[in-house]
């Protein structure tokens, strides 16, 4: 009886934790679990004239028809190539830039300046992509943009038609993504770096290790688990693109689709311009499955090379 009372007492003591956990579980249920039932739309011919729910439930079974159509179009290779290549570049460049910036922050001794630079680096992350698209337009506008009206003439170069030339956009999108996203990774890596015991660095300095060697032998190994976790999380989303970056920043210019089109923008255009819900669902399912497989493969590779750094 005493043991039963003890268990009940422990359960009552856990209720505050359950209440704190409830909002996160509710969000997970609504945002991640319930939409799984929508996967059936990828395998059906949806007819919403029968009603919203009836159109999904009573839709004719189409099997893999929508997937076959997706991969038979010329767009399938373009959007898959762009999505994967851009994300690989973003992962490599943003990780390196975030680590480098965090390393520089650790060398600043003034707490005020450290906080100031953290705020400056993190601020772009909170700017809407709509606002960012207009900032980019202010630089790249053909007639009044800063580059065409001031920078290029000063360098003796002819103005460029930025929004009509796809060749410029892999560089533009990479720079814009770096400017907007590197600050967040910098703050995360900085938090991991300042958690390292300063005594370790002092001992290394007494042994004659220079700052560069301290970074390679101390900072990098101790921050490696955080870097691996961030990279694995990014790899899991490698089939997903930042919709605002690829849709808003190029201003949805049709002539740039070969350079800016990704799976997410393709799904959106298919849904809004063609109205094919099943095709959009098929593309979304394709993203999810490939992303899941990539996470498993990446974590398996990390576990084989360095078991301590694997996420699971």
Instruction: Print the SS3 string covering the chain.
Output: CHHHHHHHHHHHHHHHHHHHHHHHHHHHHHHHHHHHHHHHHHHEECCHHHCHHHHHHCCEECCCHHHHHHHHCHHHHHHHHHHHHHHHHHHHHHHHHHHHHHHHHHCCCCHHHHHHHHHHHHHHHHCCHHHHHHHHHHHHCCCCCHHHHHHHHHCCCCCCCHHHCHHHHHHHHHHHHHHHHHHHHHHHHHHHHHCCCHHHHHHHHHCCCCHHHHHHHHHHHHHHHHHHHHHHHHHHCCCCCCHHHHHHCCCCCHHHHHHHCCHHHHHHHHHHHHCCHHHHHHHHHHHHHHHHHHHHHHHHHHHHHCHHHCCC
Report the alpha-carbon distance of residue 66 to residue 45 in Å, rounded: 9
Q: Judge whether 231 and 95 are in contact, CB under 8 Å.
A: yes
Q: Which domains does the chain have, with CATH numbers?
A: 44-309 (1.10.3720.10)
pLDDT digits (tens, 9 = 90+) for 74-98: 777 888 889 889 999 999 999 999 9
Q: Judge whether residue 52 has pLDDT over 60.
A: no
Whether the per-residue pLDDT at 205 is higher than 90: the answer is: no
3 band by pLDDT with thresholds 50, 70 and 90? low
pLDDT at 174: 94
Percent of the chain residues topping a pLDDT of 90: 19
Contacts of 99 (CB under 8 A, 6+ apart): 185, 186, 189, 223, 227
Assign 109 a pLDDT band (cuts: 50, 70, 90).
Answer: confident
pLDDT bracket for residue 54 (50, 70, 90): low
Q: What is the pLDDT of residue 132?
A: 93
Q: Is pTM beyond 0.85 here?
A: no
């Amino acid at each position: 009886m005493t043991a039963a009372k003890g268990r009940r007492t422990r359960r009552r003591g856990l209720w505050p934790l359950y209440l704190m956990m409830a909002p996160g579980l509710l969000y997970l249920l609504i945002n991640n679990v319930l939409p799984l039932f929508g996967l059936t739309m990828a395998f059906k011919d949806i007819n919403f004239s029968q009603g919203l729910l009836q159109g999904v439930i009573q839709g004719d079974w189409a099997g893999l028809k929508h997937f076959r159509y997706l991969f038979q179009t010329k767009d399938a290779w373009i959007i898959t190539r762009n999505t994967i290549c851009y994300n690989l570049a973003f992962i490599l460049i943003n990780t390196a830039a975030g680590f480098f910036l965090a390393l520089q922050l650790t060398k600043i001794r003034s707490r005020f300046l450290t906080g100031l630079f953290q705020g400056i680096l993190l601020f772009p992350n909170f700017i809407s992509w709509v606002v960012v698209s207009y900032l980019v337009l202010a630089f790249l506008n053909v007639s009044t943009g800063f580059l065409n009206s001031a920078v290029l003439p000063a360098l003796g170069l002819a103005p460029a038609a930025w929004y009509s030339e796809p060749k410029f956009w892999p560089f533009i999108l990479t720079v814009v993504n770096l400017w907007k996203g590197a600050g967040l990774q910098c703050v995360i890596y900085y938090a991991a770096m300042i958690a390292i015991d300063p005594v370790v660095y002092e001992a290394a300095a007494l042994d004659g290790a220079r700052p560069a060697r301290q970074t390679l032998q101390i900072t990098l190994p101790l921050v490696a688990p955080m870097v691996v976790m961030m990279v694995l999380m990014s790899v899991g989303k490698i089939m997903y693109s930042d919709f605002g970056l690829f849709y808003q920043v190029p201003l949805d210019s049709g002539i740039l689709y070969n350079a800016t089109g990704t799976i997410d923008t393709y799904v959106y255009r298919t849904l809004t311009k063609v109205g094919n819900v099943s095709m959009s669902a098929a593309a979304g399912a394709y993203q999810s499955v490939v992303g899941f497989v990539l996470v498993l493969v990446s974590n398996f590779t990390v576990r084989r090379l360095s078991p301590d750094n694997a996420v699971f």
